[in-house]
Structure 1
Amino acid sequence: MRHTFFCIDAHACGNPVRLVAAGGPLLPHVPMRERRELFQRDHDWIRKALMFEPRGHDIMSGSIIYPAHRADCDFAVLFIEVSGCLPMCGAGTIGTVTAAIEEGLVTPRQPGRVAIETPAGRVDVSYEVKDGCVHSVRLYNVPSYLHQTDVEVDVPDMGWLRVDISYGGNYYAVVEPQENWPGLAGMSASDIVNCSQKLRSALAEVCNPVHPDDTRISGVHHAIWCDAGQTNADGRGAVFYGDKAIDRSPGGTGTSARMAQLFGKGRLKVGDRFRNASLIGTVFEGRVEDVIEVGPYRGILPSIGGWARVIGHNTIFVDDCDPLAHGFQIE
């Protein structure tokens, strides 16, 4: 049997976003948190087929649009990538909104604004259209907070590191320059992947954060290696996720987690902006919109501004007679 998926490919500040416009599985009309679990249980082969090689690659990410279950949302989004189905993805949101608006997949109730139901909660988005193209997007992310500070962990071949655990839609290990890690200078992409894998494994032995409002969100699966900013940014970071992926964008949830960490340590306040640069020099403009309680934690409502571009239409076949129909990864 041949399965057909019509996709709109885009990139958000350099990071790929594959929006599945047709061919995605029908899911019950239940909250997105539950739909995410149902997709993972019954349809994860679709994620692997579209994200893994030979149709995708190690940093592939994507999304599937669904009708919203919440009455206060325009539509719902399921985020898929090489590592699984994320509760939230900032670059994915920017790319999805850009493609959906430009290609006419959704009709906003209010031009210039949409409300999206994600597995992590409601995300409000504003966008600006110029000459028929979405010029810029700002997402108002889920409540973000600093979960734990100064976690000491012994990382093989690096020694002891001190990291903060922060949430911005996903849990991050936030690493700043210190004695055993002087910064990003001199680090290759393979160095970042190697160090991140070792850090994540070591952290799993000593730290397992659980979201106070949703126990299905737990564990540190992402890392952001932070360094000083350059002329066009306040900071620079390398976001690691999946098995060996480095975000080409500054990372929406990563920038949110970074701002929550800086706010929690008294280095940002409400109204402050934080321009975060990626490894390739693209920039997300973060802003601390307000303060909010996340369970027992004092967190922030962050917003992230960025841009995306649609780069093509892609009709993908997944044929059951293909030995590699469901994709593969090279370890």
Structure 2
Amino acid sequence: MSPTGAPGTDPVRTTDYHTAGEPFRIVTGGLPPVPGDTVAERCATAIGAGGSGTAPRRGALDDVRRLLVQEPRGHAGMYGGFVVPPDDDGAHLGVLFWHKDGYSTACGHGTMALGAWAVDSGRVPAPDDGDVQVRIDVPSGRVGATVHRTGGRTTGVTFRNVPARVAARRVPVATGRGVVEVDIAHAGACYAAVPARQLGLKVTPAELPELVRAGREIRAALATHPATWHPEGPLLSGVYGVVLYEELADTPLGPHQRNVTVFADGQIDRSPCGSGTSARLAMMVEEGTLAPGQDLLHESVCGTVFTGRVPEAEAARAADAGLVTEVTGTAYRTGEHAFHLDPHDGLATGFLL
């Protein structure tokens, strides 16, 4: 599709899923060519063409992103991905993740949705009963989505992330609610984590405005902190999300926490955040609050859950190599769409409130 609205152009086709309440709009048709030999190169191209933050964006690919994420076709909480070729034939597909403000290098809930879609659509053959792994190239590397099947139905997906590594602990950050101590980890993207109680807050829908305000303050304050720099360069550097969490009573299988992840420019993850869960797992193993083989029951602000773990076989990895984590959740198809842009539509690709 050409989002200039020229008559007769092909529509942008999507299949929409939600993973634990967080939307994921899978773009399956109508994309312009995306230059680059790898998914990481295509992501860098998209960011370069689209700008960052709230800067104006140009280019056909970013027009499609804005068309799908902005009102009236999307909303400020929309999230999605462009399906692109993988880096090589070792993966089934590649993806460029996007949100209301631009692009991201990792997305656990999106990876789960893509795994479910790849099997549900027949793109990856799967048994009626049992598991099948879908390998996906994302900007931060190759990840896996093990799709669980029972009676011919997808019943869950386990996301296996790139290695997660703790970069800094107890970094003091000044906020409007006082100084808090923040932990920083890289898990495909860079996350900062802080207990909500340090801010005098609880992770509840009623306190979301204050949680978002605090998350934005913390992200801005850490913009130049050296721990947010990734050794592989600027694409993976800089705080992507702030995980504000609270401790709940342990389950028989391990710890239980509730969180809300504030990412981009104040966007809220409705799910417990897949790659953010990976970051939390690495932090908890390092501090000794999660033992290898235990499960973290990770709850979202809307009550949905992911189950995270560090497989015992991975626990002996050196700290600088990072920990391989697994996060399990559910993903469900919500719709299929063909989006159009009428050449006479004065709203063009839309707006955000």
- Within-5 A mapping of 1:133-172: 133-156=153-176, 158-172=177-191
Separation of aligned partners in 1, 2:196 and 2:34:
45
Q: 1:29/1:184 Cα in 2 relative to 1: closer, same or farther (>3 Å)?
A: closer
Choose the corresponding residue for 1:46, options 64, 68, 78.
64
Aligned to 2:141: 121
Root mean square deviation of aligned Cα = 2.4
Query: 2:288 is paired with a residue of what secondary structure?
Result: coil
Separation of aligned partners in 1, 2:333 and 2:96:
19
Separation of aligned partners in 2, 1:238 and 1:132:
33
Is residue 2:310 matched to residue 1:288? Answer: yes
Aligned residue type for 1:267: T
Aligned residue type for 1:132: G
1:323 deviates by 2.7
Q: Which moved more, 1:104-113 or 1:263-272?
A: 104-113
Aligned to 2:295: 273
1:80 deviates by 1.5
8 Å CA contact 1:153–1:160 kept in 2: the answer is: yes
Aligned to 1:81: 99
Q: 1:28/1:199 Cα in 2 relative to 1: closer, same or farther (>3 Å)?
A: closer
1:257 deviates by 0.7
Choose the corresponding residue for 2:273, options 248, 251, 257.
251
Query: 1:322 is paired with a residue of what secondary structure?
Result: coil
- Within-5 A mapping of 1:10-29: 10-28=17-35
Aligned to 1:59: 77
8 Å CA contact 2:295–2:309 kept in 1: the answer is: yes
Separation of aligned partners in 2, 1:224 and 1:264:
17
Q: 1:47/1:186 Cα in 2 relative to 1: closer, same or farther (>3 Å)?
A: closer
8 Å CA contact 1:58–1:244 kept in 2: the answer is: no
Aligned residue type for 1:309: Y
1:84 deviates by 1.6
Aligned to 2:335: 312
8 Å CA contact 1:102–1:132 kept in 2: the answer is: no
Separation of aligned partners in 2, 1:130 and 1:108:
11
Aligned residue type for 1:147: A
Aligned residue type for 1:305: T
Separation of aligned partners in 2, 1:167 and 1:13:
23
Query: 1:95 is paired with a residue of what secondary structure?
Result: helix
Which segments of 5 or more consecutive residues in structure 2 lack a partner in the other structure?
1-5, 50-58
Is residue 2:251 matched to residue 1:218? Answer: no
Percent of paired sites with the same residue: 30
TM-score (norm 2): 0.85
TM-score (norm 1): 0.91
Query: 1:221 is paired with a residue of what secondary structure?
Result: strand
Separation of aligned partners in 2, 1:319 and 1:87:
32
Query: 2:96 is paired with a residue of what secondary structure?
Result: strand
Name whichever structure is richer in helix by fraction: 2
1:149 deviates by 0.7
8 Å CA contact 1:176–1:183 kept in 2: the answer is: no
Aligned residue type for 2:39: M
1:178 deviates by 4.9
